[in-house]
Each structure stands twice: as structure tokens, then as C-alpha cells.
Amino acid sequence: MATTKEQYQEKMEKTKDSSLIYDGKIVKLYKDTVILENGKEATREVIKHQKGVSIAIKDTDGKYFVVKQYRYPFKKDMIEFCAGKVEDGEDVDTTALRECEEELGIIPKNLARLGKVIPSCGYCDEELYLYYGEVKEITKQHLDEDE
């Protein structure tokens, strides 16, 4: 159902209580009690996740580079564009450049930020910034231990 600006009204749930349930390397899980607009209480489970980037890099033949990486939640290798998480204090553009060289061994040119997506807004605050670029120079990969 399409929503017009006049029909859209921002809803606010006020946080009454927030408890950190799990503090992991990649995510933090919170269990919050919120007060709804009608005054009733509800529970929200929220995953806090660092921002990430995903980069589509095209070569001179018009083909795109992808990586094959084992993804435990799916118990199989997945084919993906180059991607990674933003380190503390790092801006997303720097992350995109770093991930291209680390995962692909490529220094990109014409790197352009296309926008961002929110992959799982029902329970997670992750923001994923999307990029497009072309191959400027091929160098050497610098993979993490688990890549």
C-alpha cells in the first residue's frame, strides 16, 4: 500500500528499559521495554551492528568481481560483492577503498557511493553503504584469517 506524505505519521515508542543481553565481536543484542503510543508496554529485541559497505567493481571487459566466502548461518559458501564492516573511527568511503584492496587486491577508480540500504530494520540497526567502481590497479589481496 502506497503512503502519501499526509498519511504518514511518525510513530514513537519511548524506551522504558534496555538490557544488554549479549556483547559480541560483531553484534550487541539488547532487550528493551518500550511504551507504545497507546500507553501499553511491549518488548523489542534489537541488534546493534556496525555500518558496512558493499562494492561492485567492474573490470575493463564489463565483468564484476565477486568473492566466495563461507557463511556459517547458511552453512555454505556464498557469492557476494566485496564487502566489510566499518572500523571504529573510519568513514565509509575509506572502508570501501580498504575492503577492495584487502578482499580483491584491487585499487578502484571512479568509486561512487550509490546510497545505503537497511537490510533488516525490524530488529537490527545495520546500515549498508553501496558502491560502484572500476579497476584502476590490481595489487595483492590482504585477507583476514577467516576470509
Q: Which residues are catalytic?
A: 145
CB within 8 Å of 126: residues ≥ 6 apart: 47, 49, 50, 51, 52, 118, 119, 120
Quote the CA–CA distance of 76 and 24 in Å, as a whole number: 22
The label of the residue with cell 518488548 reads: 43
